[in-house]
Amino acid sequence: MKSTFLRMGYLCLLLCPLLPVEEAFAALSTGCQAVNTKADGTYSDVYWQDINKGRRFSEGETLKVTFSNPTAPPTTANINLGTSAAPGVAASYTSKTSTSSFPATLTYTLDQDYTFGGFDVENGNVDMTDMECRKSQVITFNDPGAQQLASGTADLTASSDSGLTVSLASSTAGVCTVLGTTLTLVSAGTCTITASQAGNSPAGDYFAATDVSRSFSVTASSGGGGGDEEEEEEVVENNLTPVDNVRPVVKVYVLGLESDARTSQPSWRVAIEISEVVTGFDLDDFLLSNLTISEFSGAGQEFSALVSSVTPGRSSISVPEDGFQDNANNLNLESNTVSWRYEPDLLLNKSVTAVARAYASLAQEYLRNFSQPINSRFARLGQVFGRQIATEACQSDESEGQPEIPGCNHDDINSGDLDRFGLSYQGIQFTFKDPAMRSIFSAQPVKADSRSLLADLETLVNSQGEIDSSNELVGRMIGATLAATDLEPVDLNPSGDASAAGWSIWTEGQVTVGNWDSVDNSDGVLIAIGSDRAFGNYARGGVALTASWQSAEINPNDDVDAENYGLSFYGAMRPKEMALVLEGILGAADLDIASTRKETTATFSAVRDGTMLFSSIGVRGLEPVGRKFQITPHGRFELGSAKLDTESETGGVWAVQYGDQNIDHQMLFIGLDINYQRALSKGLMRPFGSAEYGYSFSSSENVTMKYAAGTRSYNLVLEDET
C-alpha cells in the first residue's frame, strides 16, 4: 500500500516559504501550502500530528488528488481529514471522499478547519500523480437580458469572488462578439456569452472556476413598408428610448473584516452597494447564517446594517436574488457571500478564567494540606523520642558516677517502650445513637449477671417490641452476651497505651475557613485516621487514610466543589545517640472537582477527575522530656504534583473544554515547636504552639482551554499563589 500523510510543523514553515498571492483576497493555509509543495509527504503507515507547530487546513479550501497508473488492483482511494486531540497525540480522522475506479481524481471542499490531512489507497498500489490544495472560486455573471440590434453595443458585468479577472467569450459569433466587457451585436438571433476564470495555479491560491454562460435574444427593429425614411425614423426613436433590462448588481461588505477571517468581536457593520436605485429592499432580503441583524438603514443604492454572531463558529451574510427591483421592474441578482469565524476570546471571560484558577487553587490547597495530619503525628512522636533522650541521659550520668538527677527515668529502653507513651489518641470521636451499636463498639464491656439478663429478656418478650426502651434492652443484652462469652467490644476510640498487636491508632481532623485570590469564600474539612508501630528501638512507621471535602465560591454565580481520598505511608527514625528525628511521607490520592458557572440564562457544569502524588522528607530536633520549656526546630521539603484530566462542560454552545492541567508542588518549610509545662495543684497545664515559614519553588502553570464547539485554543498562565 502506498500512502501519503501530511505532518504539520514549524520545520516545514522554515523550509517551504509561503507562496506569493497575486490579486487574491486571502492566502492559503499552511496545510494547503504543505500539500502544494509536498513538504510533509511520507510513505509510511506511521503518522502523528503536533497541533502546536502551526500546520492546519482552513474551512472552504479544496483538496484535489489524482490517482493513476495502477500496478496492482487497488480497492479504494481516500481523502482523510481529522484533528489532533492534543500535542503529540495521533489524529482522529475519517474518510471524506473515496473512489474505487482508476484512474480517478478526488476532490473535497473542507467543511471546517482540520489539523491533519492524508491521502491513501487501501490495498494494491497506484501513483498519486498530482496533489493540490487551493481555494475554489465562484463567478457572478449578470444576465444582460434581451437586446435590440439597433443599440449596437452593451456592457457586460462579470466578476469572481477570488478577485481574479474574468474572461468573456462568444460562442455565437454570427449574432454577437465580445471584447473585454463590451458586447457587439451583429445580427438578430440568440447570443451566448460564457464567463470563465482559469485560476492561478500552480503559483497562486485558486482552482479554475466553473464556467457561467448567459444566452439572450437579439431582435431587429419592427418595420411596416414605410421605406428608408420610415426605418431611419424608427431607429432614431429606438435609440432615444432604449429598453432597460439590466438586473441590479448587489455587493456586500463587512467593514474592517476580510472574508474567511477569524474574529473575537461579535458585532460588525455591514455595507450594501447596489448598481442602481432600487425599491423594496429591507431586512427580510438578507440570507443570514448564525447572525442577527439590526440597525438597518439606507435608500436608493447604499444601505447599512449591524450584524452580530449568535454562537461560536462560522457566520455568513448574503443577499439572494429576486428580492427587490429597480425602477424598470428588473429583479436583483444574487450578491456575493461574506463569511467569517466568530470565537470570543476565552481569556476575557472572567467566569471561565476564574473557574480555571479555582481548579488550580483547590489542587494546590490539597497538596499543601496532604501532610498536615501526619506532621502532627510526627510532633507527637518527637515527644516520645524526647523521652528516650531523657532516659539515655539519666543512664549515662548514673554509669559515670554522677549524682542522681531528680525525676530521671532509670528504666531501660526496650522496643516496646514506644507503645507506652499514650500514642493512641483521637482527634475525632466515633459515637453511635443506637444502643445496640454502642454495646458492640464500646470502650468498656457491659457488666450484667444472669438474673438481670433473664429479666431483660422477659420484659422484651412481653412487650413484643412495643415499649420505648426495647432498643436499650437489646443493647444491654448484646453487651451482657459479649461479656458472658469473654468477647470484648470493639473500641473505635482507643487512647493512651491502647494498641492492637503493637499498632497504635490515631485520628486527626481539620476545618479550614477563608479565601484565596481567585475565590470569594472557601471552607473545607479534612479527616485522617492512621496506625503505626515500632520497628526496633529507634524507628516507627505506619499508614494513614485521609478524606477531605472543599467548597469554593468564586462569585454568586460560580462555585467549585472538590473531594479527595488519599493513602499515605510514613515513618520516623531517630539515629542512635542523636537528638534528632528523620521523617518521611509517600502518598497518593484521587481527586474529583465539580464546577458550576452561569452566564445569562445558561448553566454550565463539569466534573473533572484527577490524581495526586506526594512525598516529603524532614528532620526534627529533640529536647529531653522533663524540661519545663522546650523549643524544638524542624524542617522539611515537600514534593508533589496533581493532574486534572481534560473535561468539557455541559450546558450549550458556549460550553468550555478545559485541557489537562498539571499542578506542581515544591515547598521548603522551617519552623519551631514550642512547649511549656507548668504543674498545678490539681493537674498539669501545657500550653504549646508552632511557628512555620514556607517557601514555594513551584513554577507558573498553564491551562489550555477552548470552546467545546470551536477550534481555537487559548492558553491561560496561572501564577503559583502559594
- Predicted confidence at residue 349, as pLDDT, reads 83
Higher local confidence (pLDDT), 547 or 350 = 547
- Predicted confidence at residue 447, as pLDDT, reads 55
Task: Please determine, for residue 146, whether its predicted confidence score (pLDDT) is greater than 70.
Answer: yes
Over residues 463-499, the pLDDT tens digits come to 655 545 555 566 666 666 655 555 555 555 555 555 6
Task: Please determine, for residue 225, whether its predicted confidence score (pLDDT) is greater than 50.
Answer: no
- Predicted confidence at residue 224, as pLDDT, reads 46
CB-based contacts of 248, cutoff 8 Å, min separation 6: 274, 275, 276, 278, 324, 325, 326, 330, 331, 332, 333
Task: Please determine, for residue 715, whether its predicted confidence score (pLDDT) is greater than 70.
Answer: yes
- Predicted confidence at residue 159, as pLDDT, reads 93
- Predicted confidence at residue 315, as pLDDT, reads 93
Amino acid at 518: S
Q: Minimum mean pLDDT among 565-574, 576-585, 619-628: which range?
A: 619-628
Q: Minimum mean pLDDT among 463-467, 620-624, 677-681: which range?
A: 463-467
Residue 207: pLDDT band by 50, 70, 90 thresholds? confident
CB-based contacts of 411, cutoff 8 Å, min separation 6: 391, 417
- Predicted confidence at residue 573, as pLDDT, reads 93
54-60-61-66 Cα dihedral, nearest 10 degrees: 130
- Predicted confidence at residue 76, as pLDDT, reads 80
**Residue 540 contacts residue 386 (beta carbons within 8 Å):** no
- Predicted confidence at residue 473, as pLDDT, reads 60
**Residue 165 contacts residue 185 (beta carbons within 8 Å):** no
Task: Please determine, for residue 644, whether its predicted confidence score (pLDDT) is greater than 90.
Answer: yes
Taking the C-alpha atoms of residue 210 and residue 197, their distance in angstroms, rounded to an integer, is 8
Task: Please determine, for residue 402, whether its predicted confidence score (pLDDT) is greater than 60.
Answer: no
- Predicted confidence at residue 166, as pLDDT, reads 93
165-180 mean pLDDT: 91
Task: Please determine, for residue 19, whether its predicted confidence score (pLDDT) is greater than 60.
Answer: no
Task: Please determine, for residue 440, whether its predicted confidence score (pLDDT) is greater than 60.
Answer: no
**Residue 401 contacts residue 620 (beta carbons within 8 Å):** no
Over residues 22-39, the pLDDT tens digits come to 333 457 887 787 777 775
Over residues 573-586, the pLDDT tens digits come to 998 878 889 999 99
Task: Please determine, for residue 58, whether its predicted confidence score (pLDDT) is greater than 60.
Answer: yes
Taking the C-alpha atoms of residue 176 and residue 93, their distance in angstroms, rounded to an integer, is 52
Task: Please determine, for residue 518, whether its predicted confidence score (pLDDT) is greater than 90.
Answer: no
Higher local confidence (pLDDT), 679 or 350 = 350
129: its cell numbers: 500523480
Q: Minimum mean pLDDT among 42-51, 339-348, 712-721: which range?
A: 42-51
Residue 632: pLDDT band by 50, 70, 90 thresholds? confident
- Predicted confidence at residue 287, as pLDDT, reads 95
Containing 461, the helix (H) or strand (E) segment is helix 450-463
- Predicted confidence at residue 698, as pLDDT, reads 81
Containing 383, the helix (H) or strand (E) segment is helix 372-399
Taking the C-alpha atoms of residue 278 and residue 529, their distance in angstroms, rounded to an integer, is 83
Strand partners, 694: 669
373: its cell numbers: 495530619
Spell out the domains of the chain, with CATH numbers in brackets. Answer: 3-135 (2.60.120), 139-223 (2.60.40.1080), 250-343 (2.60.40.10), 352-429+493-718 (2.40.128.130)
Task: Please determine, for residue 85, whether its predicted confidence score (pLDDT) is greater than 80.
Answer: no
Q: Which of 117-121, 155-159, 382-386 has the highest mean pLDDT?
A: 155-159
Higher local confidence (pLDDT), 343 or 527 = 527
Distances (CA, A) of 289 to 232, 256, 313, 342: 55, 19, 10, 12
Higher local confidence (pLDDT), 176 or 7 = 176
609-618 mean pLDDT: 95
**Residue 139 contacts residue 96 (beta carbons within 8 Å):** no
632-510-549-424 Cα dihedral, nearest 10 degrees: 80
Higher local confidence (pLDDT), 96 or 422 = 96
Query: Would you say how long the chain is, in residues?
Result: 722
Taking the C-alpha atoms of residue 260 and residue 113, their distance in angstroms, rounded to an integer, is 11
**Residue 270 contacts residue 307 (beta carbons within 8 Å):** yes
- Please report where in the chains the cell 439478663 appears, as a residue: 453
Residue 291: pLDDT band by 50, 70, 90 thresholds? very high
Residue 426: pLDDT band by 50, 70, 90 thresholds? low
Q: Minimum mean pLDDT among 10-19, 278-287, 312-321: which range?
A: 10-19
- Predicted confidence at residue 722, as pLDDT, reads 53
Q: What is the pTM of this model?
A: 0.51
- Predicted confidence at residue 412, as pLDDT, reads 44
112-118 mean pLDDT: 81
Average pLDDT score, the chain:
77
Task: Please determine, for residue 252, whether its predicted confidence score (pLDDT) is greater than 80.
Answer: yes
552-583 per-residue burial string, b: 16 or more CB within 10 A, e: under 16: bbbeeebbbbbbbebebebbbbbeeeebbbeb
Please state, as a whole number, how many other Cβ atoms lie within 10 Å of the Cβ of residue 63: 25
Task: Please determine, for residue 237, whether its predicted confidence score (pLDDT) is greater than 60.
Answer: no
Nearest to 133 by CA among 33, 40, 15, 39: 33
CB-based contacts of 441, cutoff 8 Å, min separation 6: 430, 432, 489, 490, 491, 492
Higher local confidence (pLDDT), 377 or 115 = 377
